[in-house]
Amino acid sequence: MSFLKKFVPKAPKFYNLFIEVAENGLKATEILNEMLCKWENHADYSSQIHLLEHKCDEITHKVSNELNETFITPIDREDIHELINSLDNVIDEIDVVASRIHLYKVKKPFEFAPQFCEILHMQMKLILEALKNFEEPDKVYEKLISIRNYETQGDKVFREAISNLFENETDIKELIKIKEILELMETAIDYCQTVTIVMEGILIKNA
């Protein structure tokens, strides 16, 4: 039996907290998608996402406390710290995206935002699935490869989005707002890839 098969039952307090953050992140992508599609009540959607982000901050803090109180950890302390923080970074960025759309009062839906959101949603779905199968490395590696493929797709969408924006947006203020939001969405997608790097490092270390 591999070490990771023992990890899940031995460290439920850490393992379950990772999953909880990922679940909140997935829910945040669903709310963001609804916000972008309906394009109304931005303050309400932003508030919902911010509550999820706040929950994840509390979970991240709880993990830090657990690390301080646990003498021997099932995997390296720095790996636990990096994994929970990389997961938290994703929802932090989603929160910023929703907040900017609300605070900047962007006038109308903008192209490519739904595609970005779909990529982000699929990445978070795969991250959650990978965490739930963490004791089975082969399944996890498949998910990590798919997440990275989505990141590559996100790079392509970003280039198309920026090109389209500068070609068609005539209002310079709206252009600046939308460009920043697109960049934030790309960063959220990049953060999902960072999660895969951390997870892969844990798998390799504990094979």
User: How many CB atoms sit inside 10 A of residue 70's CB?
Assistant: 14
pLDDT digits (tens, 9 = 90+) for 175-187: 999 999 999 999 9
**Which 3 state secondary structure label does DSSP give 106?**
coil
Lowest-confidence segment of 15-19, 57-61, 67-71, 114-118 by average pLDDT: 67-71
Residue 190: closest CA among 115, 89, 56: 89
Q: According to the model, what pLDDT value does residue 135 have?
A: 78
Q: According to the model, what pLDDT value does residue 77 have?
A: 84
Give the ranges where 133-171 is alpha helix by DSSP (H): 137-168
80: burial class by Cβ within 10 Å (0-12, 13-18, 19+)? buried
pLDDT digits (tens, 9 = 90+) for 130-158: 999 887 888 899 999 999 999 999 999 99
Q: According to the model, what pLDDT value does residue 12 have?
A: 61
CA angle 120, 16, 193 (to 5 degrees): 30
Report whether 25 contacts 127 (CB < 8 A).
Answer: yes
Average pLDDT of the chain to the nearest whole number: 91
pTM as predicted = 0.91
Structural domains in the chain plus CATH codes: 3-205 (1.20.58.220)
Residue 14 banded pLDDT, cuts 50, 70, 90: confident
Segment 118-132 shows an average pLDDT of: 96
Residue 10 banded pLDDT, cuts 50, 70, 90: low
Report whether 87 contacts 25 (CB < 8 A).
Answer: yes
Q: Please state, in angstroms and as integers, the Cα–Cα distance from residue 180 to each residue in 22, 24, 98, 159, following that order.
A: 25, 24, 12, 13
